[in-house]
Every structure is written in structure tokens, then in C-alpha cells.
Amino acid sequence: MPFSFGVIGLGQMAQAILLPLIERGDLNIDEVMSVVASKESHDRLRDELPKGFNICSSDDISSKQVWKTPIKLLAIKPQQLNNLNYSPFEIDFSSFPEKPVLISILAGVTISKLEALFPDHYCVRAVPNSPALVGAGLTGLSWGNGISLNQKTLVQSYFKVISEVLELPESQLDAFLALTSSGPAYVALIAEALADGAVAAGLPRLLANYLANRTLSGSATLMRKKELHPAQLKDLVASPGGTTISALRHLEMSGIRSALIEAVVRAAERSRELNG
């Protein structure tokens, strides 16, 4: 059976995208070919992944099979992009009904750069975030030139299994990444700090961690389901002269709002730098 889906790089995000598709039967495990950088990674993943998963290291001659697939996921580190064992037009795609599709989840790497490196492919830039690991993600998609409607629908279907999918102009992807992909780290830092504060105020550590996580997730659910602007929720909780407005005053004096704004801006700037 020929391979129909290729994966170059098999880290956590690539697995989060791929394994649910296999589990649901959207992809046949026998049709998926995956390549990883080293034999060490190959040996480790071979023991961790489902039985029958086709995986090889990049120095294996059979790794070239991954480039013959009609659709492939590029999931390496951006710094590894120029070291790929691939030459444009090395493989004859003339028998394909359409040019193959390459989906890149590389941070900051633009479609124009991908199209220059892979001129025999239609290129898609995808930005998923880590909550996709539990099926609660967000993915931004931008399309390269020439990709057909059927191919777009197929790409969207892969990501809809694990996330809400948004089609965006590529000019917005760096900001999308800075908020949604880097955002879970900001939230984790806030959760940790809130729990530390609760411990300082007298709660045991495990309870403080649990309550901080539940407070963040519950607040997000409330804003989403009631369609509240964040300021509306803040005003709903902060009563005159109460504990919350006193705490908010301290946070404003400490510059938390500015710090978070600048964090998102800096992450977007770094994403743009990675393309250089």
C-alpha cells in the first residue's frame, strides 16, 4: 500500500495532530510514513507509538519515501529547515492529480520561504497551540498559492479533530502565535503565581494549585459562554471598597497589564525574526 501521508519530525505537536486521526480511522496507520532526525529518536518512538506505525531515521535510505506522499506535515524545528535531505524536483509528481501539499507548523517560517524551498508543493502555514494535546486547541491556517478547495478542506479536517480552526491572512499569524501558542505559558506562569500567593496566605500547596487552575479555566468558560468582555467580568467581581478592587489596584501599580501586552508583542517579533 503506498503511503498517503508523510510526517517530517515527530514531536509532541505532530503526534497530537496525527494520533487522533489514526484513532478515529481518518488515516490508516499503514498509509502514514514518518521520519525523525536520529536513530535514538527512532528507537524511543518505536516503543512509544502504536504498533504498526511506520517510522525511520533521516539517515535511513527509506526515509526518502516520505517525500513521495501527496500530503505531508513538516514539524521540525525552524533551525533545522535548511538541513533537510530534500532537493526540489528530485521526485516526479507528474502522475499526481494535483501538486502535493506541505503543511508547515514551523514558527515564523513564511509561506514565501516554504514555496522557495518546496516549489513542487502547495504550501500551508499552520499555527496550532498546546491545548490541542487534549483536543482543546486553536489553529490558525494561511494558504499558499494555488491550493485547491478540496485540499483546503482536507487540511482543515486534520486540525478540526483537535482544535478550533481559523483561516487568517499570513500577516496576522505571528500575532496569533504570540497570543495562542505562547499564551499557555503566560497562563501557566499566572496560575503558578496565584497558587504561590494562596500558599503564602495559608492554603496547602496541592489545594492551591488545584484552585488556581480551576479558577482560570472557570473564568475563561464564563467569559466564553456568557460572551462577556474581560472588563465586564472584572467589573462583575470587583465590588466597591472590596477585596478584589484592592487586589486589582496592586496589580495595576505593579504593571501587570503592560507586562502582558509587551510579552505578546515580543513573542510576535521573535516569530518574525525566526524567518530571517
pLDDT of residue 212: 98
DSSP code of residue 89: T
Domain positions in the chain are 5-173, 181-274
pLDDT of residue 42: 84
Write down how long the chain is: 276
Per 3-state DSSP, what percentage of the chain is helix, strand, and coil (rounded to 5)? 55, 15, 30
Smallest CA-to-CA distance from 271 within 191, 139, 173 is with 173
To which residue does cell 514565501 refer? 112
Q: Cα separations (Å) of 43 from 22, 33, 48, 84, 275?
A: 21, 15, 9, 20, 31
Q: In the predicted model, is pLDDT for residue 86 greater than 90?
A: no
List, as own/partner pairs, every contact residues 246-251 make where C-beta atoms lie below 8 angstroms and the sequence separation is at least 24, other chains included: none
CATH number 3.40.640.10 given to 181-274: no
Is pTM beyond 0.85? Reply is yes
- pLDDT tens-digit series, residues 193-216: 999 999 999 999 999 999 999 999
User: Which of 17-21, 34-38, 199-203 has the largest mean confidence?
Assistant: 199-203
Confidence of residue 104 (pLDDT cuts 50, 70, 90): very high
- Least confidently predicted of 25-29, 56-60, 114-118: 56-60
pLDDT of residue 1: 46
Which CATH fold would you assign to the domain 5-173?
Answer: Rossmann fold (3.40.50)
Q: In the predicted model, is pLDDT for residue 116 greater than 50?
A: yes
